[in-house]
């Protein structure tokens, strides 16, 4: 039988792992530097926890796990067959975690979490049925300093990853104020859904859609004017601020945006911009919202590399109301694709940390090599002894395929002399030296 | 609604994560030092890959995932409902990986893999339905040096973890030779199953069982004598070697055991012993076999901390015959329990890396603190600014609960003076200093 892998899922080979670990480590290192603490939740959650949390479409995309034991007799009903599902995101399991552990948690609670999630989505380029999420949230604090910290962390991550991006921010209160002042407070949903589509579909199409959904033409005219005036600025600007005057959420939202822009400090690879068209429509956000787009080579890398925002009530659905928080989630796969496209991985070591391999010339020589390899490792140098006394050419190909920079040859001649012959696989140069000299050579090489 | 977590599954809080990461990092660091390369496989595999690989009991313990879309009409049949299952171990997915990627792989292939697995087992103390495995295998090489490397890695891991253990080895060929020379070659299965039970059930009970299964009394008398003579020695010994003379697998097995004992070198926290009663009965092993038990405080920590061995044909079932290999798998949960029981985690930082927290005295002061915190982080020091201008007592409790060693107070007085007041949370001492002096103080503290 020829084995297969489920559609939309991936194996990660050593080279893929090196790249993904590089990205995840960069993100988690920033999280830790800001005092976020890691948790993990199980891959499976009870369906009562998952269902109804991701909208009607989300429920159809949940992976459900069959109950153990005998199947029920008669026609199958879904809730007789299954009571557990696979993690769909990290937010709902986190909310469940907070409620169940609330007596051990000291609030504000800053947590990060890096785990795969599963969605029974139609697979397509760049969209998988299993993928990692890498979230940070702080809950139990209303302070805008948390939003400022999120902006700082985002900037630090993209600086560490060496990708130029634009971090666009908006505030759902600004959008609520907008709906209020446009006199369409009951059309908030249509407004935000349309704003989210603007970039892809263009103003004309969205205007048509708004019009066809019955949003009055006066409101649309005003909206068009505001959009034309506020988009390029990167700051809320006088025009919008003026328009929102008198709307309580509108004024509050503008103030929050301004504070975040003012307090966020250090510059880096995420240029911070207010964008009135950012809406993150279908989410549960209630305050500041964030989105990151790559700005390298323009349009080649569409899609957002990060999303996030403030929510007012994470855990209310599980019986613990009033827990506000703010969180961000990096799109690890998309960051991977962007970095690959930009050639950021071209010079990175491919999935191995081995610095030197000893050629195997047979039992007696290999026995000596084992001892030397052990000494190398004690000095902190990752070392292999080729396990079989195969042809030297074959052993060299192995070193080559695994990008091992140095090969050590320890034949009977060398054993007699107390030296080892060392080949630099990149330059082809060969040199006899003591083990101690080899250790120093490799240490020095690692520093360059 | 009160949320619940599925039975037999666990949340990992920050303190748990610190401990588990400590263990996993120690193991993976050793793997990497020996040139093993990481891979990951998806949580879900097609059932055709999983079924029939773990025995009849294993099949009942597989978690099966419901197909998407509508349920089939009429009485449900399992294969109409589900075509994917959750990873049950890391070995079968690895075999599938090797077959599917055989054209990219340079053999011998040394891989490690750290991922959770799922088993619908009855939950009980120390046994979970979701748990991490942490495996290393090298495949495509028959050389005994691979077994020697496994012994070295095991020793290095338990030395790094500071747990005293016994690494017991045997060889399935020795057992095959034993069955041959006892003239019960067709009772190999009963022989190995009985040997595995010896430690728990005692010799008398196992002898009774063997007898009741019809193993002849002459064979049992000889076996009893061999067991009495060979157990305490830790080496095969003349008595056993003599007995196996003339059996081809027996002599080969003894030779392999002796080579591994001779070549394994450096001493550490895993004392290496031959043990004739080690059998690992239900496994697919064909050569050397390994098992580690904790030897601290005797019997308190039963169960093995590691298992492994040589197999002749990992991928034959997937159409790629003749791929031999050797692998080990650490029992991460059991190692965690042993280390906790021994108090090894008592002095470790609980789940946070934050070294200093700035108290929040209000908007103006916090603005200054943000800048200082940023400077600390650029110097590599994990730093938090408490997000809310809460009562100082509350902020101090937060620092305390999160085991943050230093608290920095930056009030209007300090801002004027250009200094910051620093409190050592362990000694209670307070001191005024510059930010630079604080950075140096914390660096120095980190070194002790």
Q: Measure the CA–CA gap between B119 and B115, rounded to whole angstroms.
A: 13
Q: What is the percent of chain A with per-residue pLDDT over 70, rounded to a whole number?
A: 96
Assess contact for A96 and A314: CB atoms under 8 A. Answer: no
Contacts of B3 in chain A (CB under 8 A): 46, 48-49, 96, 99-100, 318-319
The residues, any chain, with a CB within 8 Å of residue B115's CB and separated by 6 or more, are: B40, B41, B43, B87, B90, B132, B133
With CA atoms as reference, the chain A residue closest to B31 would be: A382
- Test A106 with B141 for CB contact under 8 angstroms: no
Q: What is the percent of chain A with per-residue pLDDT over 90, rounded to a whole number?
A: 77
DSSP B133: E
Kindly report the number of other CB atoms within 10 A of residue A448's CB atom: 4
Query: Best interface-test mutation with B: which of A10, A18, A37 has the largest number of B CBs within 10 A?
Result: A37
Looking at the DSSP bridge assignments, the partners of residue B311 are B325
Our CA-based measurement puts residue B209 at a distance from the nearest CA of chain A, in whole angstroms, of 31
Indicate the angle between helix axes B203-212 and B217-230, nearest 10 degrees.
160
B217-238 residue pLDDT tens:
999 999 999 988 775 567 888 8
B142-185 residue pLDDT tens:
999 999 999 999 999 999 999 999 999 999 999 999 999 999 99
Confidence at B447, pLDDT banded by 50, 70, 90: low
> A203-225 burial, b for 16+ CB within 10 Å, e for fewer?
eeebbeebeeeebeeebbebbee
Instruction: Provide the CATH number for the domain formed by B14-341 in this structure.
Output: 3.30.930.10
* Mean pLDDT for the stretch of residues A273-302: 84
Q: Measure the CA–CA gap between B144 and B276, rounded to whole angstroms.
A: 19
Assess contact for B180 and B174: CB atoms under 8 A. Answer: no
Query: Best interface-test mutation with A: which of B12, B95, B145 has the largest number of A CBs within 10 A?
Result: B145
B105-121 residue pLDDT tens:
999 999 999 999 999 99
Contacts of A389 in chain B (CB under 8 A): 143
Q: What is the percent of chain B with per-residue pLDDT over 90, rounded to a whole number?
A: 77
Q: Are strands A37-38 and A109-118 parallel, antiparallel or unpaired?
A: parallel
Q: Tell me, what's the pLDDT at B299?
A: 47
Q: Tokens standing for A132?
A: 């990692």
Same fold, B14-341 and B356-443: no
Assess contact for B249 and B180: CB atoms under 8 A. Answer: yes
- Test B14 with A71 for CB contact under 8 angstroms: no
Q: Measure the CA–CA gap between B150 and B290, rounded to whole angstroms.
A: 9
How far is residue B229 from each of residues A263, A314, B223, B234, B346, measured CA to CA in Å? 77, 66, 10, 11, 42
Q: Tell me, what's the pLDDT at B393?
A: 97
The single residue listed with the structure tokens 């190999």 is: B188
B333-353 residue pLDDT tens:
999 989 988 888 876 656 668
Judged by average pLDDT, the poorest of A129-143, A296-310, A401-415, B49-63 is: A296-310
Q: Measure the CA–CA gap between A31 and A22, rounded to whole angstroms.
A: 14
Q: In this structure, which CATH number among 3.40.50.800, 3.60.20.10, 3.40.718.10, 3.30.1180.10 belongs to the domain B356-443?
A: 3.40.50.800
3-state SS, residue B344 = coil
Nearest to A65 among B65, B111, B352 (CB): B65
Contacts of B63 in chain A (CB under 8 A): 44, 65-66, 68
> Is residue B267 pLDDT above 80, yes or no?
no
Q: Tell me, what's the pLDDT at A9?
A: 97
Contacts of A106 in chain B (CB under 8 A): 397-398, 401-402
Assess contact for A446 and A355: CB atoms under 8 A. Answer: yes
Beta-carbon pairs below 8 A across chains A and B: 294
With CA atoms as reference, the chain B residue closest to A94 would be: B11
Confidence at A231, pLDDT banded by 50, 70, 90: low
Task: Find the DSSP H helices in B273-354.
Answer: 332-341
With CA atoms as reference, the chain B residue closest to A319 would be: B1
Our CA-based measurement puts residue B386 at a distance from the nearest CA of chain A, in whole angstroms, of 9
Our CA-based measurement puts residue A118 at a distance from the nearest CA of chain B, in whole angstroms, of 9
Judged by average pLDDT, the poorest of A157-166, A184-193, B340-349 is: B340-349
* Mean pLDDT for the stretch of residues B355-360: 96
- More confident of the two residues A320 and A301: A320
A362-420 residue pLDDT tens:
989 999 999 999 999 999 999 999 999 999 999 999 999 999 999 999 999 999 998 99
Domain boundaries, chain B: 14-341, 356-443
Query: Best interface-test mutation with B: which of A42, A75, A379 has the largest number of B CBs within 10 A?
Result: A42
ipTM of the complex: 0.93
Please, what is the Cα angle at A289 between A287 and A290, to 5 degrees?
A: 160
- Test B45 with A145 for CB contact under 8 angstroms: no
The residues, any chain, with a CB within 8 Å of residue A309's CB and separated by 6 or more, are: A172, A280, A283, A285, A286, A287, A288, A289, A290, A326, A327
Nearest to B387 among A97, A111, A143 (CB): A143
Nearest to B120 among A68, A99, A383 (CB): A68
CA atoms within 13 A on the CB side of A201: 15
Average pLDDT, chain A: 91
Contacts of B13 in chain A (CB under 8 A): 39, 101, 104
- Test A75 with B73 for CB contact under 8 angstroms: yes
Assess contact for A3 and B99: CB atoms under 8 A. Answer: yes
Contacts of A377 in chain B (CB under 8 A): 33-34, 156
How far is residue B298 from each of residues A52, A416, B164, B301, B304, measured CA to CA in Å? 51, 47, 11, 7, 13
Q: Tell me, what's the pLDDT at A69?
A: 78
Q: Tell me, what's the pLDDT at B298?
A: 54
Radius of gyration of chain A (CA): 28
With CA atoms as reference, the chain A residue closest to B72 would be: A76
Assess contact for B75 and A76: CB atoms under 8 A. Answer: yes
The residues, any chain, with a CB within 8 Å of residue B222's CB and separated by 6 or more, are: B182, B243
> Is residue A87 pLDDT above 80, yes or no?
yes
Assess contact for B64 and B29: CB atoms under 8 A. Answer: no
With CA atoms as reference, the chain B residue closest to A1 would be: B318
The helix (run of H) or strand (run of E) holding residue B412 is helix B412-417
Ramachandran angles phi, psi of B189, nearest 5°: -60, -50
> Is residue A298 pLDDT above 60, yes or no?
no
The helix (run of H) or strand (run of E) holding residue B177 is helix B172-181
Backbone torsion region of residue A43, taken as left when φ is above 0, otherwise alpha when ψ lies between -120 and 50, otherwise beta: alpha
* Mean pLDDT for the stretch of residues A262-280: 85
The single residue listed with the structure tokens 């010079």 is: A347
> B70-94 burial, b for 16+ CB within 10 Å, e for fewer?
eeeeeebeeeebbbbbbbbbbbbbb
Q: Measure the CA–CA gap between A350 and A402, rounded to whole angstroms.
A: 7
Q: Tell me, what's the pLDDT at A448?
A: 54
Q: Which of A407, A404, A415, A402 is nearest to A371 (CA)?
A: A415
With CA atoms as reference, the chain B residue closest to A321 would be: B1
Confidence at B79, pLDDT banded by 50, 70, 90: confident
> Is residue A299 pLDDT above 60, yes or no?
no
> Is residue A238 pLDDT above 70, yes or no?
yes
Q: Tell me, what's the pLDDT at B282?
A: 65
> Is residue A63 pLDDT above 70, yes or no?
yes
- Test B41 with A12 for CB contact under 8 angstroms: yes
Our CA-based measurement puts residue B165 at a distance from the nearest CA of chain A, in whole angstroms, of 21
* Mean pLDDT for the stretch of residues A304-318: 92
- Test A76 with B78 for CB contact under 8 angstroms: no
Burial of B22 (0-12, 13-18, 19+ CB in 10 A): middle
The residues, any chain, with a CB within 8 Å of residue A79's CB and separated by 6 or more, are: A47
Our CA-based measurement puts residue A101 at a distance from the nearest CA of chain B, in whole angstroms, of 9
Q: Tokens standing for A244?
A: 């929102």
The helix (run of H) or strand (run of E) holding residue B157 is helix B145-161
Indicate the angle between helix axes A237-244 and A217-230, nearest 10 degrees.
140
Assess contact for B181 and B250: CB atoms under 8 A. Answer: yes
Q: Measure the CA–CA gap between B18 and B9, rounded to whole angstroms.
A: 18
With CA atoms as reference, the chain A residue closest to B35 would be: A354
Looking at the DSSP bridge assignments, the partners of residue B115 are B133
pTM, rounded to two decimals: 0.93
Contacts of A376 in chain B (CB under 8 A): none
């Amino acid at each position: 039988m020829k084995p297969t892998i489920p559609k939309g899922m991936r194996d990660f080979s050593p080279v893929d792992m090196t790249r993904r670990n590089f990205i995840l480590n960069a993100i988690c290192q920033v999280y830790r530097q800001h005092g976020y603490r890691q948790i993990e939740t199980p891959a499976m959650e009870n369906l009562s926890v998952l269902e109804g949390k991701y909208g009607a479409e989300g429920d159809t995309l949940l992976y459900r796990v069959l109950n153990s034991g005998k199947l029920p007799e008669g026609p199958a009903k879904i809730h007789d067959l299954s009571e557990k599902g696979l993690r769909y995101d990290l937010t709902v399991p986190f909310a469940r975690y907070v409620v169940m552990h609330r007596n051990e948690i000291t609030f504000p609670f800053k947590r990060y979490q890096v785990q795969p999630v599963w969605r029974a989505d139609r697979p397509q380029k760049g969209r998988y049925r299993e993928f990692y999420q890498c979230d940070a949230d702080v809950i139990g604090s209303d302070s805008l300093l948390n939003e400022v910290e999120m902006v700082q962390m985002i900037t630090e991550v993209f600086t560490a990853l060496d990708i130029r991006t634009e971090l666009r921010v908006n505030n759902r209160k600004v959008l609520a104020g907008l709906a209020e002042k446009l006199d369409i407070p009951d059309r908030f949903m249509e407004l935000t859904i349309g704003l989210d589509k603007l970039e892809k579909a263009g103003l004309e199409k969205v205007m048509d859609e708004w019009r066809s959904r019955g949003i009055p033409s006066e409101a649309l005219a005003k909206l068009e004017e505001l959009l034309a005036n506020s988009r390029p600025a990167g700051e809320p600007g006088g025009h919008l601020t003026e328009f929102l005057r008198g709307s309580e959420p509108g004024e509050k939202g503008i103030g929050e945006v301004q504070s975040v822009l003012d307090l966020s400090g250090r510059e880096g690879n995420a240029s911070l911009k207010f964008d009135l068209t950012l809406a993150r429509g279908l989410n549960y956000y209630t305050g500041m919202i964030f989105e990151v787009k790559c700005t390298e080579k323009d349009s080649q890398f569409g899609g957002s590399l990060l999303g996030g925002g403030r929510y007012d009530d994470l855990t209310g659905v599980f019986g613990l109301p009033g827990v506000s928080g703010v969180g961000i989630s990096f799109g690890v796969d998309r960051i991977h694709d962007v970095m690959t496209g930009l050639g950021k991985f071209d010079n990175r070591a491919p999935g191995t940390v081995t610095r030197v391999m000893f050629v195997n010339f047979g039992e007696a020589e290999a026995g000596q090599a084992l001892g030397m390899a052990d000494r190398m490792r004690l000095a902190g140098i990752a070392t292999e002894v080729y396990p079989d006394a195969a042809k030297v050419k074959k052993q060299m190909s192995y070193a080559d395929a695994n990008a091992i920079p140095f090969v050590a040859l320890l034949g009977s001649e060398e054993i007699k002399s107390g030296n080892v012959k060392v080949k630099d696989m990149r330059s082809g140069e060969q040199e006899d030296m003591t083990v101690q000299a080899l250790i120093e050579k490799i240490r020095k090489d690692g520093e360059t």
